[in-house]
Structure 1
Amino acid sequence: MNISKPRQDKTKSNIYRPDVDGLRALAVTAVIAGHTFENWFPRGYLGVDAFFVISGFVITLSLVSRSGTSFGLFLAAFSLRRIKRLFPALLVCIGLTCAILLFVDPAPKKSLLTGAAALFGVSNFSLYFQELDYFSPSIRYNGFTHTWSLGVEEQFYLLFPLLFWVAFKPSQSRSSRRLLCVILPLCMLSLLGFVFFQTRAPMAAYYLMPLRFWELGLGVASAAFLYHRPDRFYTVGRFLRAPLLMAAMTVVFILPYGSAVLGHLLIVALTTALLFAGGKETDQTQLLTNRPTRYVGNISYSLYLWHWPFLTFGLLAPSSIWANPLVSIGSALFVAILSYHFVEQPVQRIKTPRPRLWHFAGAFASVFCVIAVVAAGNSYRKSVWVSRFEAAMHPDFSPLPGSNLPFYPTCVVGDSIPLKPDTFDKCTFAPQTDGERTFWVMGDSHAGHLQGTFLKMRDDHGYGFHLVETPGMSFPVVETESFPARSTLFQQVRDRWKPGDIVVLSRLHFTRTDPLRVRETFNRWVKEVDTLADELAGSGIGLFLVGPPPMFMFEDIRACAPDDELSCSLQRGKLEEVVDVVHRDLGRIARKHENTEFIDLFSELCAETSDVCSPIQDGYFLFRDRDHLNVEGAARMSGRFQAAVEALN
């Protein structure tokens, strides 16, 4: 996120606005407070929305007064200014953060990949796909989660110069009216998309630039309006009172109201209003223009960059001083001050009157050098030192038999991974013994995490199996009215199964909340399964209904100590009541249909003789996260499945 202070010429439309620095300070304070004290500032993350509006406003004011030139020179100069303002502090932050993560993070891969993506301005895409990945660790343990906003802005800056040049024509008419006519309809389309996807694909609405364009675009439109009709701009501003607007923003950051869309709309509207309110120096409030506040605004870019890594260090090293959030933020503030004075400012002062090829080549070379050094450091770390945590972890999945392809994404179909013509064949494995049965495993990520079970049963008994996971979608599908990919896969299963084969259904039964609750779709799903059991019986097909494993409360498996089975344990009694609700209905269906068996995973993973459930056994993790088994944990369930096969016979 470009929240560094730009150098602006004091022209009629391009005047340094001290209140904008103060507004940056307010926004960065809200973001840090929201990330550090989420219970007190549940909507503090909306400060990023304020930054988007400010960024569009400032970047437009920096362009409208520039003299005409060719588009090539205009684009090169624009890009070089972006690189000078963003990359130096970002390179230093990512390089140093990665170095620390190699020592404190037992599983740094996701963070390192996100950091590399941030250097190319695409970390929002990386994080978007991680969020859609049900195997992804908690984003709070990713040292670069916050760089998604940088990706949004950098992608906007790839598009904006072209829009600005076509609409404003710096070398010709310099008409901001035309710029308004281009930007405002695009903002409206973006806003409609943002609202539409909030309920249908919230991660897309959150991370992707086209659905955030309206926020940056409103900043652009405000600056264009100031350039086009400064008198009207100032007139509107006189009716707005900055202290009241700031108080309203604070309320929005603090109150835990329900609608996410409403929060975004309010913050964007209030930020835009504050830009109007400070249009004239005489209308600017001391709350935003006093020296300490403006200084925080000046260092806000570096402060934003560094606050998240220090909070992550505290999670990864809970015995360190960084585990105290006040120490983490104090450390971030200290490093941000150093970054501003010794990285940002020196580079900003370097004169580059005319862009040269070596300027861009040097920037890219620096990026690749940082990536190469971090990759070499990670390779060296793995070659000379394996942490106790890494030694205790089993793989999430095994390579597919025969092809050695990875299970994810080969055998996963969802919103971001379409069903391919060869998915079924790649994820279906014939019995190793002629005439042996095949298991047809279907469901969401809780079907996928059973891969280790069926690999072991195939090795031990020669069974075949088919397993394609559909994250977030159970089978039968009850989460949506239809899911064509799953319907296609089931039809392919029907074309292949033979009498004696077994359909295996596994799904997420609980909400990921404290306390746990049975998901709202469960009763409807049970009715669909009851009907399916009758259909399968008519074809001579068996049915296994897999019960839930324990669901733990830890946020990330890295919060657990492999040598202490109680470190992430949970009282068995806390789970029994909600587990019994699921077991009762699954057991009822199994008793009703002769072709159906109920598989009790909970009792296998959380013995009745124990008072607690633990994701760790004998110093090794059986889970990859709070409710998904890893390949070893799943393999240990094969005995339960084999007993069910014998009972069905």
Structure 2
Amino acid sequence: MSQRGQSNYFPVLTGVRALAAYLVFISHYDYVFDEGFPQWLRRFFHEFHIGVTVFFVLSGFLITYRYYHNFQLSGKWFRQYVKNRVARIYPMYFLLTTGAFIYYYFTHDTSITKNYPSPVGLYFMNIFFARGFFYQLWDTGIAQGWSLTVEECFYFSAPIIFYIAIKYKKFYVQPVIITLTGVLLVLIFRHVNWWGFFGNFTFMMLYTFLGRCFEFFVGIQLALWLLKRGFTRKNNVSFTYIGFGLIFVFVLVMAMLPIPQGWIAGLQHPVGIVLNNYLISSAIGLFFYGLLTEQTAVKSVLSMPFVELLGKASYIFYLIHLGYMYGFLHHAWDWLNERVFDLYGNWGVDWKSPFENDQVNLVYAFIVLNAISIFLFKFIEEPLNHAIRKSGFLIKPTARHQN
């Protein structure tokens, strides 16, 4: 299929968003598998943070596929581009981050501020994505929101990346230069006591765009390949299953690595960084290529309307699955568990409570969080997205709005 005949929207990749968010969810709650599960399997689940890598490769692909052939280095184009990105990312992030700091105001939960002396200043660092450059602050506010700093850096860099690739034919050298810039910043600032601004190499490589740019470039390369060659293939190689298999082979290797002192996962081992940033991202690129050019059972499942809906709501799920909103659910299960046992006491029975098992409670939380995400997507995120696109923010709306 030609590039012009292919829509900019891919239902299967929307379904992939749900898969990515659920992988991250599992990685954050692997501790519930503490009984009856071998240690290596717990470590394997703990490395499912690769869902973030899936998001990064996906962003590189979608931004390139939608904008590469129509971008212009003009104020009008850039304002429309930024408006689209703000409409997609910012409203829910702003609302949920504000909620996190309101929660801090009433609870003084230090997981929100990490003892930063100015909660108000930190709030503005969070809503403007600046906290993601500081090793001591990257997981403040909505902790998992650090990845949005990385995303925003890519969004602003993408037009420049496209321009250099087209005008100067310099594509592959760009991730090298970007990463070396990160290395230089660490060398300059690692001994400066400024809340860990580019404070160490592990932080730079795993939590900043400068270290993780290659993942976006994998997506960029995939988009350029398909824009040039189309979606019709002459071979029957099952890239869907090869890519999927390689992803989890690399994850298993990562799970076997020793965890460096002061860190919490094999990801943070030097070999883990190479596996995650380069090998796993490349395998994800193969997986996406297969999904887009093959008809498989995996594609059929990920393209199902309900899975597509979960994918559309997955951004909200990602933002609420960890932190104060999950904490409310955890306290709710504890409260319900106590009420159930009070009821059993009144009845004079010794039954098991449906809320006493952590693994079952996690399933409840997973279902409820998805329900909340779908509700917020339908009634807040989607309406705000459309409202911003139709508004005069940055630029007056045109008849045709890009995604």
Same fold (TM over 0.5): yes
Secondary structure in 2 matching 1:212 = helix
Alpha-carbon distance, 1:31 to partner? 0.6
Q: C-alpha separation between the residues in 1 aligned to 2:320 and 2:366?
A: 9
Alpha-carbon distance, 1:130 to partner? 3.7
Q: C-alpha separation between the residues in 2 aligned to 1:296 and 1:318?
A: 24
Q: 1:356–1:298: structure 2 CA closer, same or farther, 3 Å change rule?
A: closer
Structure (1 or 2) with the greater helix fraction:
2
Say which of 156, 167, 173 aligns to 1:185: 173
| Structure 2 segments unaligned to the other structure (5+ residues) | 32-41, 187-199, 258-270, 337-354, 397-403
Range with bigger deviation, 298-307 or 94-103: 94-103
- Please name the residue that 1:75 is paired with: 78
Q: 1:69–1:246: structure 2 CA closer, same or farther, 3 Å change rule?
A: closer
Q: 1:69–1:263: structure 2 CA closer, same or farther, 3 Å change rule?
A: closer
- Please name the residue that 1:226 is paired with: 226
Q: How does 1:210-221 map to 2 (within 5 A)?
A: 210-221=210-221
Q: C-alpha separation between the residues in 1 aligned to 2:220 and 2:93?
A: 24
Q: Indicate conservation of the 8 Å contact 1:105/1:316, yes or no.
A: no
Q: How does 1:422-437 map to 2 (within 5 A)?
A: none
Relative contact order higher in (CA < 8 Å, ≥ 6 apart):
2
- Please name the residue that 2:309 is paired with: 295
Q: C-alpha separation between the residues in 2 aligned to 1:356 and 1:349?
A: 12
Secondary structure in 1 matching 2:383 = helix
Say which of 116, 125, 132 aligns to 1:124: 132
Alpha-carbon distance, 1:75 to partner? 0.5
Q: Does 1:160 align with 2:158?
A: yes
Alpha-carbon distance, 1:159 to partner? 1.8
Secondary structure in 1 matching 2:144 = helix
Tell me the amino acid that sits aligned with residue 376 of structure 2.
S
Q: Does 1:51 align with 2:55?
A: yes
Alpha-carbon distance, 1:36 to partner? 1.4
Tell me the amino acid that sits aligned with residue 26 of structure 1.
L
- Please name the residue that 1:151 is paired with: 149
Q: C-alpha separation between the residues in 2 aligned to 1:290 and 1:77?
A: 31
Structure (1 or 2) with the greater strand fraction:
1
- Please name the residue that 1:343 is paired with: 380
Q: C-alpha separation between the residues in 2 aligned to 1:275 and 1:91?
A: 30
Tell me the amino acid that sits aligned with residue 265 of structure 1.
Y
Q: C-alpha separation between the residues in 1 aligned to 2:10 and 2:321?
A: 26
Q: C-alpha separation between the residues in 2 aligned to 1:307 and 1:63?
A: 31
Tell me the amino acid that sits aligned with residue 66 of structure 2.
S
What whole-Å deviation, never above 9, does each CA across 1:555-597 have from its counterpart, x for those lacking one?
xxxxxxxxxxxxxxxxxxxxxxxxxxxxxxxxxxxxxxxxxxx
Secondary structure in 2 matching 1:182 = coil
Alpha-carbon distance, 1:357 to partner? 3.8
The TM-score normalised by the length of structure 1 is 0.45
Aligned length: 328
Alpha-carbon distance, 1:311 to partner? 4.1
Q: 1:241–1:221: structure 2 CA closer, same or farther, 3 Å change rule?
A: closer
- Please name the residue that 2:322 is paired with: 308
Range with bigger deviation, 54-63 or 308-317: 308-317
Q: C-alpha separation between the residues in 2 aligned to 1:81 and 1:213?
A: 22
Q: C-alpha separation between the residues in 2 aligned to 1:336 and 1:352?
A: 21
What whole-Å deviation, never above 9, does each CA across 1:128-173 have from its counterpart, x for those lacking one?
2347xxxxxxx5xx442211110011112122223324544xxxxx
Aligned Cα RMSD in Å?
Answer: 3.7
The TM-score normalised by the length of structure 2 is 0.69
Alpha-carbon distance, 1:52 to partner? 0.3
Q: How does 1:35-114 map to 2 (within 5 A)?
A: 35-37=28-30, 39=42, 41-66=45-70, 71-107=74-110, 108-110=112-114, 112=119
What whole-Å deviation, never above 9, does each CA across 1:63-94 have from its counterpart, x for those lacking one?
1354x766111100100000100111112211
Q: C-alpha separation between the residues in 2 aligned to 1:85 and 1:217?
A: 21
Secondary structure in 1 matching 2:319 = helix
Q: C-alpha separation between the residues in 2 aligned to 1:62 and 1:224?
A: 11
- Please name the residue that 1:25 is paired with: 18
Q: C-alpha separation between the residues in 1 aligned to 2:392 and 2:214?
A: 30
Q: C-alpha separation between the residues in 1 aligned to 2:164 and 2:392?
A: 21
Alpha-carbon distance, 1:338 to partner? 1.7
Q: C-alpha separation between the residues in 2 aligned to 1:307 and 1:76?
A: 32
Kindly, what percent of the aligned residue pairs are identical? Answer: 22
| Structure 1 segments unaligned to the other structure (5+ residues) | 1-9, 132-138, 169-177, 360-649
Tell me the amino acid that sits aligned with residue 305 of structure 1.
L
Q: How does 1:583-622 map to 2 (within 5 A)?
A: none
Alpha-carbon distance, 1:254 to partner? 5.6
- Please name the residue that 2:238 is paired with: 240
Alpha-carbon distance, 1:114 to partner? 5.1
